[in-house]
Amino acid sequence: MADAAARLLAGNLVAFPTETVYGLGADACNGQAVKRIYEVKGRPTDHPLIVHIASMDSMRDWAGDINEYAIALAREFWPGPMTLIVKRSELAADFITGGQDTVGIRVPDHALALGLLEDAQKMGIKGIAAPSANRFGQVSPTTAAAVIEELGEYLHADDLVLDGGACTVGVESTIIDCTGDIPRILRPGAISDEMIAHSTGLEVIRTYRFIDDGAGIVWINKVEDVRVSGSLENHYSPAAKVYLDQPPQSGQGFIALADIPTPDGVIRLAAPSNNEEFARMLYVALREADLQGLSEVVVMQPIGPGIAVAICDRLVRAANGR
């Protein structure tokens, strides 16, 4: 951990596990190091980064005014799979926020991530900027091997990838805009709408919408006014073409809950027994499709509130292709 923190201090990149997905980290106050994140990811520089902190106490370093309900959410769900968007402090430079006057912060719930954040803090690092450790637009990595597959060729000898095993949540954090009077959910995740409403006692605004078009397919409306790269219509996409909610054909990959059988000749990539397991296996299974060289994958979307909303959100974008 001390070695990894020292590398961050020296301006190198350290990829690390969180409970959601692996992140590609840099010292959030080092503009040169942060610039490398964008280069390694191949991501446009106006897309803001989440600053990861060791505990709620460091929130004040990065935030200006903080709403009461944001404090309540932080108390209840940190460390955890939730990112809060708040007014930024002077510490949150344009190279973090993409020039916006807000900043995203999160305390991840993973022993390695917290260990790294604590050791980095002892060395004077105030936060670790980290997007998901994948090339722009592609599937987020949930294992160290997947990070190396994605980014290995772009990393330097002094960068590091920490291996903390497979991520337990498997899809990215819930992003909540806390700058208004009531919470606005920009990206659904494991902290659900219901949990946020219950914790704050407030109505929540959803910036995504599901429409049943009659054929059972669910679409999401893009929100034009927020710059969340994960809200682009096509994102989270494997090389294989993703189809939703249709009978799989021979030779196609197939991802569905365990009680849905696999037709003859179809290549079953995952058979999760519940929605939590679905989230955990989804990105692994989409990567497996590419490793096996499959050109098409059919996914039967899980139904329900909670994490199913996040899974469907990612699947609809994955199905829109690269």
DSSP string, 80-105: SSEEEEEEB-TTS-HHHHTT-SEEEE
DSSP string, 162-201: ----S-SS-SPPEEEE-SSSS-EEEE--SS-HHHHHHHHS
Residues 96-115 that bind ligand TXA (CB under 6 A): 97, 100, 102-104, 106, 108
> Residue 83 binds which entry of ligand TXA, Mg ion, none, with Cβ cut-offs from 5 to 8 Å by kind?
ligand TXA
Q: 173: which residues sit within 8 A by CB, 6+ positions away?
A: 20, 50, 81, 82, 83, 106, 187, 189, 190, 191
Note whether 85 and 183 are within 8 A (CB): no
Binding track over 34-73 against ligand TXA, x by CB under 6 A: -------------xxxx-----------------------
Note whether 269 and 282 are within 8 A (CB): no
Regarding 274 and contact with ligand TXA (CB under 6 A), the answer is no
For residue 97 the two structure tokens come to: 């926020």
Task: Determine how many CB atoms are found less than 10 A away from the CB of residue 156.
Answer: 10
> Residue 36 binds which entry of ligand TXA, Mg ion, none, with Cβ cut-offs from 5 to 8 Å by kind?
none
Minimum CB distance to ligand TXA smaller for 136 or for 243? 136
**Of 29-37, 125-133, 258-266, 298-306: span binding ligand TXA (CB under 6 A):** 125-133
Cβ 102 to ligand TXA shortest distance, Å: 4
CA atoms within 13 A on the CB side of 263: 11
Minimum CB distance to ligand TXA smaller for 119 or for 298? 119
Cα distance between residue 272 and residue 282, in whole Å: 9
Residues 131-150 that bind Mg ion (CB under 5 A): 132
**Of 12-20, 129-137, 159-167, 259-267: span binding Mg ion (CB under 5 A):** 129-137
Residues 208-227 that bind ligand TXA (CB under 6 A): 226-227
Regarding 179 and contact with ligand TXA (CB under 6 A), the answer is no
What is the three-state SS of 245-296? Answer: CCCCCCCCEEECCCCCCCCCCCEEEECCCCHHHHHHHHHHHHHHHHHCCCCE
Minimum CB distance to Mg ion smaller for 58 or for 132? 132
Among 67, 207, 229, 252, binds ligand TXA (CB under 6 A): 229
Cβ 21 to ligand TXA shortest distance, Å: 5
Q: Which residues bind ligand TXA (CB under 6 A)?
A: 18, 20-21, 23, 47-50, 83, 85, 97, 100, 102-104, 106, 108, 130-132, 172-173, 175, 186, 226-230
Contact residues for Mg ion, defined by CB under 5 A: 132
